[in-house]
Structure 1
Amino acid sequence: MTPPSRQGPSLPDPMTIAPRATGHPPTPRLAQDAAGWAPGNKFLEGPFTPWTEESGAYDLEVDGQIPEDLAGALFRISSNPRFQPRDPDRYHWWEGDGMVCGLYLRDGRAAYRTRWVMTDSMKFEVEQGEAVYSGFANGGTTAPLPAAAPPAKNVANTNVGIFDDHLLVYFEGGLPYSMHPETLETYGSYDFHGGIDVLCTAHYKIDPDTGDMLFFAATGPIITWYRADVKTGQVVDSHSFDIKVPVLMHDFAVSDNYAIFFVTPAQFRLDHIMRGEPGVVWDEASLPHGVQIVLMNRQTHAVSRHEVGGHWANTHFYNAYEDDGQVVIDGHRITRLGTPADRLETPVTSHSWFPPSLPHRWRVDLATGRATEEMVGGVAGEFPRINDAYTGRRHRYGYFVTTRYLADDTMSDGLAKHDALRDSTTVVEGPDHLTNPGEPVFVARENAVAEDDGYLLTLWWNRETGLSELLIHDAADLRRTPLARVRLPSRVPFGFHGNWADRTMLDQAVAARSDAN
């Protein structure tokens, strides 16, 4: 990350790590920040507590050693309400404003920067000096929007990564937003050069053979599949189909030949939101025959439906691949997601709304159409990831954060690696006061020779200081003591997803955006 005094087109390496700028560090903002908002609302306390300042620092304090071959940036998004929510008691984690954290690693040193994603709706709320949009997850008060307000809020808080030389921030209720990958300046909404119109999923996959982006949009019961060309950013393939119910379609999986979607009782109901009722609803009556797996052939767009049965919901997928005439899908699933349809007036608590999820494997026999499932691990957890080079191919290892103890003030409590070949799971907890790790991101070692030959990057919350730390673990030899512990002088409120950009991708994107300006 380049300090302001060294910015300029003549700088040969725009990501040179420099000594920390002089001046007073930001004041830590602890639980008292949200005092009076909603005492007892877990999503406004502890690791979720808002952090209102944009900040940055150079030459961060490091315990241990950052590997020399770890060069690039980890981009993370946090869910971070900028203003007191209109209905603090009903505020849900999914509704916080997006703030991007860029962690820049090079030559064994670290720098970072955080910036708000300045969507049109955030700009309007900043002008008003308060929140003007009601919540959508648990419902809230309804009132006409002020004049000139954008019709809906884009919280831009779910995922972030580089594509088409843009740092793109995603939220499933609107278009992605583009930011500069170094300064984190917000440019505006991004529509893949006119390829999408209203929204797209926050989850995307990168085809390891082509580099193309594979993604979709869910608008009510209509799913639209997209493929965007890595060289041009243009959408080069799309297809829409009807799944009959307005499923809360957050994640999907891809194999060589198929895009894979799960139809579950978890629904997203805009009509409820308009009435001030919870918009994330658990409605088993909508699927009398239980959960379905939908396969769409990526070449022909032919769609097939396969009954699994039961009433449950998937959360996130590791991966999918084809093996001996079957599509194999690995992911986590839970018993319920959202407020039950019969108690919309009294939304449930956080752990009841979102109980612990467990690793499962589903198989679809392509000859018979039969779908089956089995639990493949007994450690509760969330945010599963793999080595992304194995997307759509048979993988052996999966990584996730554990949710074993249902603590009152945290969501997660450890970092796990699952070995599908050995049918074993390794779990490590944080050193000292570190807990509540976020989604792990795998980064391959230079000249890697094995699937797990690389590093796991995770953000943890320090219960003692209230701040965040980046831990770098050896993915092949997962131990409690990490290779490096990078201390941040701020808290990154607990968020959802993020991605790594290696030095080549990062520098190319920085140069492209600088040239565009």
Structure 2
Amino acid sequence: MSLPPVTLVPRAPRQAAASPQDAHWATSNKFLNGPFTPWTEESEAYDLEVVGELPPDLAGALFRISSNPRFEPRNPDRYHWWEGDGMVCGVYLRDGRAAYRTRWVATDSMKFEVEQGEAVYSGFVNGGTSGRLTDGAPRSKNVANTNVGIFDDHLLVYYEGGLPHSLHPETLETQGIHDFRGGVDVLCTAHYKTDPDTGDLLFFAATGPTITWYRADVKTGRIIDSYSFDIGVPVLMHDFAVTKDHAVFFVTPALFRLDLVSRGLPGVVWDEKALSRGVQIVLMNRTTHKVSWHEVGGLWANTHFYNAYEHEGVLVVDGHRIERLGNPASRLESPVGSHEWFPPALPYRWRIDLATGRATQEMTSGIAGEFPKINDAYTGRRHRYGYFATTRGLTADVMSDGLARHDYLQDVTTVVDGPADLTSPSEPVFVARENSRSEDDGYLLSLWWNRATGLSELLVHDASELRRTPLARVRLPSRVPFGFHGSWADQATLDAAVQAQSTAD
């Protein structure tokens, strides 16, 4: 079977470093240099160069979102990685061949900035100055840069400051706002989960101190369950976890203060005084909506979760923990640099005794890292393996520096570096082998930055036996600026979504 005709375009020549597509602005801000350096053009190519061999059963598309500012930020030295414009990358694999496409997510706020020919909106992380907003312009910016995946035959791009945007799963053309057929009105999290039993989408919205839980039906795309509750403080709640019976939320001193953003001050604030009893874990029963609070203590923040599950009366949560996250509340008028409040995170495990309510925590690995992932078929179920990108050394030109696999049964972490000049791997995505027989029987897909060329490569590793030399390297014709999250769509899911879009047209 050949790749869909629309992706058949000539192979583009590989560019050398410092190509015309690079954006070079006069700043030493790490988030605008190295693997973060913006790429100014949309790209596409077919029959990409492959070093090694793509597994024949690896058929579908890897979708990733990059944080890629289209215009020079108004305050480059205050710019934060979270504020870049969303550009979607699709790597389409079939029959051992690869095709590639990138497209901007054409939000209304991006369209307005394109009309003006410059950045207009201020930064929301470290603060900054805003340009003039004309009548009819969006009041705030939806950067659409955090996560991407197929649901309800749409390729959805998520950003928790607004509603998702729908893109065509093959052409990547932006089709507009997606509100789950009228079920979500303001915003929703970028971190959705897929229920492995039903295929339903599980997610939430955090608006100030209010958390709203959502469940969207996989067959209709409509919201079939929602529930709101108050956590008392406007926590910067980026991720959550689910078990078969519960949704799991962490209340930490990392806050998002929209009121400060409107004044040009940092909106991501570290406020230890906001929590008189330290960090707490909030459980919501997915059936009854009963909410319970469990004190962990201490002042720290979670970043991302691997998974959660219940076993013998104990709810277990695995994720990463960071010692601080956000500008200190005492320094809002003279904010500290992002790199000072964004230290490396470490893997942790939290346990909640469901009978007594007691919560405990322990570090599971001393290897710093981020972007934890599992085999998603084990969402809400007891897992053995976790994968993540390591952040062992915060050097000037890298973000992450290797891939890791943690075996929770053996309590062993395996780490591999990239081959040759490859570094700064993205979040790894697990793809099960055809007719897989075990939890780790599959592949890890990740994007890496090549220092020598300034471009990106897709690496395919064996998830069950992580080695430095991957099974395959797919050389991409452009750089995918270092971003956040992504997902895999198998060929059946991709083909069904493309066909549904064609029928709708």
TM-score bracket for this pair, using the shorter chain length? over 0.9
Q: Secondary structure at the match of 1:289?
A: coil
Residue 4 of structure 1 corresponds to which residue in structure 2? none
Question: Quick one: distance in 2 between partners of 1:143 and 1:118?
Answer: 20
Change (3 A) 1:23 1:440: closer
Question: Quick one: distance in 1 between partners of 2:11 and 2:362?
Answer: 56
Question: Quick one: distance in 1 between partners of 2:73 and 2:174?
Answer: 23
- Give the deviation of 1:147 after TM superposition: 2.3
Answering whether residue 361 of structure 2 is matched by residue 373 of structure 1, we say yes
Q: Secondary structure at the match of 1:451?
A: coil
Question: Quick one: distance in 2 between partners of 1:24 and 1:32?
Answer: 13
Residue 288 of structure 1 corresponds to which residue in structure 2? 276
Question: Quick one: distance in 1 between partners of 2:434 and 2:483?
Answer: 28
- Give the deviation of 1:127 after TM superposition: 1.0
Q: Letter of the 1:250 partner, please give it.
A: H
Match of 1:323 among 302, 305, 311: 311
Match of 1:225 among 213, 217, 224: 213
Residue 205 of structure 1 corresponds to which residue in structure 2? 193
Answering whether residue 348 of structure 2 is matched by residue 399 of structure 1, we say no
Answering whether residue 60 of structure 2 is matched by residue 75 of structure 1, we say no
- Give the deviation of 1:128 after TM superposition: 1.0
Answering whether residue 38 of structure 2 is matched by residue 42 of structure 1, we say no
- Give the deviation of 1:34 after TM superposition: 3.9
Question: Quick one: distance in 2 between partners of 1:459 and 1:291?
Answer: 34
Q: Secondary structure at the match of 1:515?
A: helix
Question: Quick one: distance in 2 between partners of 1:310 and 1:512?
Answer: 50
Match of 2:294 among 306, 320, 325: 306
- Contact between 1:385 and 1:441, CA under 8 Å: does it hold in 2? yes
Answering whether residue 203 of structure 2 is matched by residue 215 of structure 1, we say yes
Q: Secondary structure at the match of 1:194?
A: coil
Q: Which moved more, 1:21-30 or 1:297-306?
A: 21-30
- Give the deviation of 1:346 after TM superposition: 2.8
Q: Secondary structure at the match of 2:400?
A: coil
- Contact between 2:164 and 2:177, CA under 8 Å: does it hold in 1? yes
- Contact between 2:39 and 2:479, CA under 8 Å: does it hold in 1? yes
How many residue pairs are counted as aligned between the two chains? 505
Alignment of 1:196-275 (within 5 A): 196-275=184-263
- Give the deviation of 1:151 after TM superposition: 1.2
- Give the deviation of 1:13 after TM superposition: 6.3
Deviations 1:410-469 (A, max 9, x none): 110000000000000000000000000000000000000010000000000000100000
Q: Secondary structure at the match of 1:508?
A: helix
Q: Letter of the 2:329 partner, please give it.
A: A
- Contact between 1:51 and 1:491, CA under 8 Å: does it hold in 2? yes
Question: Quick one: distance in 2 between partners of 1:268 and 1:22?
Answer: 44
Question: Quick one: distance in 2 between partners of 1:31 and 1:289?
Answer: 53
Question: Quick one: distance in 1 between partners of 2:137 and 2:58?
Answer: 43
Match of 1:487 among 475, 482, 485: 475
Match of 2:115 among 127, 131, 140: 127
Residue 507 of structure 1 corresponds to which residue in structure 2? 495
**TM-score, scaled to structure 2:** 0.98
Question: Quick one: distance in 2 between partners of 1:336 and 1:31?
Answer: 38
Segments of 5+ residues of structure 2 without an aligned counterpart are none
Q: Letter of the 1:206 partner, please give it.
A: T
Q: Secondary structure at the match of 1:446?
A: coil
- Give the deviation of 1:409 after TM superposition: 1.3
- Give the deviation of 1:142 after TM superposition: 3.8
Answering whether residue 151 of structure 2 is matched by residue 171 of structure 1, we say no
Q: Letter of the 1:21 partner, please give it.
A: P
Residue 449 of structure 1 corresponds to which residue in structure 2? 437
Question: Quick one: distance in 2 between partners of 1:326 and 1:404?
Answer: 32
Change (3 A) 1:21 1:99: same
- Contact between 1:458 and 1:472, CA under 8 Å: does it hold in 2? yes
Question: Quick one: distance in 2 between partners of 1:22 and 1:34?
Answer: 23
Answering whether residue 81 of structure 2 is matched by residue 96 of structure 1, we say no
- Contact between 1:400 and 1:439, CA under 8 Å: does it hold in 2? yes
Change (3 A) 1:22 1:310: closer
Q: Secondary structure at the match of 1:456?
A: strand
Change (3 A) 1:142 1:20: closer
Residue 4 of structure 2 corresponds to which residue in structure 1? 15
Q: Secondary structure at the match of 2:460?
A: strand
Deviations 1:274-315 (A, max 9, x none): 110000000000002100000000000000000000000000
Q: Which moved more, 1:145-154 or 1:359-368?
A: 145-154
Residue 390 of structure 1 corresponds to which residue in structure 2? 378
- Contact between 1:282 and 1:338, CA under 8 Å: does it hold in 2? yes
Residue 42 of structure 2 corresponds to which residue in structure 1? 54
- Give the deviation of 1:38 after TM superposition: 4.0
Segments of 5+ residues of structure 1 without an aligned counterpart are 1-11
- Give the deviation of 1:146 after TM superposition: 2.1
Deviations 1:210-232 (A, max 9, x none): 00000000000000000000000
Alignment of 1:147-186 (within 5 A): 147-186=135-174
- Give the deviation of 1:23 after TM superposition: 7.1
Match of 1:187 among 168, 175, 179: 175
- Give the deviation of 1:159 after TM superposition: 0.1
- Contact between 1:316 and 1:331, CA under 8 Å: does it hold in 2? yes
Q: Secondary structure at the match of 2:77?
A: helix
- Contact between 1:435 and 1:460, CA under 8 Å: does it hold in 2? yes
Match of 2:327 among 320, 339, 350: 339
Answering whether residue 105 of structure 2 is matched by residue 117 of structure 1, we say yes
